[in-house]
Amino acid sequence: MFNIFKKEKTEKDNNHPSIIAIACLLIHSAKIDQNYTEKEKKIIKDAIIEMGGGSGEIDIIMQDAEEKEKDSNQILDFTKEVKSINEEDKKIIIEALWDIIYSDEDADMYETNLMRRLCGLLYLDPKTVGDIKEKVSQKKK
């Protein structure tokens, strides 16, 4: 559907830095409330596949991203690659982030703070992020 992950023929699918960075952001948001669930993992996998990550490689992508996220202590490591993606694809990522946050029916202060920070780091308008949040929260009702 999206071409942000199209690679040169010699590049391995699971080594593409943008897809790993996106997966790391999604995993980080899922772990921020100290409750990384199977439901959140499924949302992450579905989002990665929807954005062009190979479904056959999804377990390897997840494993690589979980390892990279665990070894990192700040989201700047992930956002520096993601911020160069076009705005429409960023909106897909933000929607996936809100899906993860609302997967447990509630957004705590750490999760909402993360989204405010990401809004600035990814150069997204707060109104756009708020509109996506509203869309996702309405979907969950």
Length of the chain: 141
Fill in the DSSP letter of residue 87.
H
pTM comes to 0.81
- Per-residue pLDDT tens over the stretch 7-27: 333 333 444 668 899 999 999
Separation in Å, CA 113 to CA 59, 100, 132: 29, 14, 16
pLDDT value of position 112: 85
pLDDT, average across residues 26-32: 92
- Do residues 44 and 70 lie in contact, with contact meaning Cβ atoms separated by under 8 Å? no
Q: In the structure encoding, which two tokens stand for residue 12, read together?
A: 């391995």
Nearest to 94 by CA among 54, 56, 64, 51: 51
Q: Domain locations in the chain?
A: 14-140
- Per-residue pLDDT tens over the stretch 79-137: 888 888 888 888 889 999 999 998 888 788 888 888 889 888 889 988 999 999 999 98
**CATH T-level topology, domain 14-140:** TerB-like (1.10.3680)
The one-letter code for the residue type at 63 is Q
Q: In the structure encoding, which two tokens stand for residue 62, read together?
A: 């997840």
